[in-house]
Amino acid sequence: MKTVLITGADRGIGFAMAERFLRGGWRVFAGQYMPQWKELEALKEKYPQQLTTVALDVSSIDSVRAAAAQIAQQTDTLDMLLSSAGIALDDTPKDIRKMISVNSIAAIRLTQTLLPLMENGEKRLCYVSSEAGSITTTQRDASGRYGMVCGYGLSKGILNMAVRQMFAQLRPKGFRFRLYNPGWVQSYIDGPLMQTFKYTASETAEVAFQRFTADRDWEDVLALVDIDDQAWSF
């Protein structure tokens, strides 16, 4: 059975990803940050042999290491890292730091820590980004118009560069990358569920599952691709 670690699996996009990968027959290690959300526990009852919850705060290198150690006790190989955890806070310096820590640097923490476990697997590195991180096209402004703070876009732009750096380093070693723009998803990133947005978490997770698990002819290219298969300029 193929194995995947999905971060931010408590709810929203991460939870939907976990559900989809379980249905697809994968062994899922679900990063759990909010144990008070019971959906993951309910999913565990449905997939007792496939789903393992792992306490994971992606903003903490100690937590990432502990999670990696726990996973290593249960599998020799991790085939995929799916970095989905994300937050959107206010634009105070403290909140911007938190957003950079979770949305940007976490990708590096996770990848570096899990690399040894991934060396003999399918070597798939998947990161959930956003059109907010497209410097070329974003319409967000510093006043936080469009309902999204500017710090979120800053953090996703930095994420895109972080993934680019890792791509340059790891693609020659056979790792395959996916940088995904999930679209405007009904998620909890802003607190309450954003019900007016275009896509459900399940819809974006379905597309992600198809893309992340399949090979493609252009693995030597890193592109930010959205749910509608459109590439976004950085």
Partner 1 sequence: MNHSVLFLAIDSPIALKCAQQMAADGDHVYFVTPNGKIDGSTDGIEVVPADVYEPIAAEKIAKGVFDREGRIDILIYAASGTLEGKKEATEELLDRVEYNVNCCRNFVEGAIPYMKQGGLQRIAMLSDRAGSITMCREPAEDPVDPLTQAGLHMLLRVYFNQLRKLGFTFRCYTSEADDEQKLYLTPSRYVNMKFSYDPDSPSIRNEEDRLVMRNPEFREISW
Residues that bind partner 1 (CB under 8 A): 61, 93, 96-97, 100-101, 104-105, 108-109, 112, 133, 135-136, 138-143, 145, 150, 153-155, 157-158, 160-162, 164-166, 168-169, 233-234
Q: Closest distance between partner 1 and the C-beta of residue 149, in Å? A: 10
Give the nearer residue to partner 1 in terms of CB position, either 1 or 231: 231
Choice between 82 and 132, CB closer to partner 1: 132
Q: Which element (helix H / strand E) includes 233? A: none
Give 109's contacts (C-beta < 8 A, 6+ positions apart). Answer: 58, 61, 64
Minimum CB separation of residue 94 from partner 1 in Å reads: 9
Minimum distance, C-beta of residue 106 to partner 1, in the bound complex (Å): 9
> Given the complex with partner 1, which of 12 and 151 has the nearer CB atom?
151
Residues near 177 by Cβ (< 8 Å), separated by ≥ 6?
125, 126, 127, 163, 166, 167, 170, 171, 219, 222
Kindly tell me which of 112 and 120 has the beta carbon lying closer to partner 1. 112
Quote the least distance from Cβ 231 to partner 1, whole Å.
11
Cα 138 from Cα 217, distance rounded (Å): 28
Q: Cα(79)–Cα(34) distance, rounded to whole angstroms?
A: 25
Closest CA to 158 of 139, 137, 130: 130
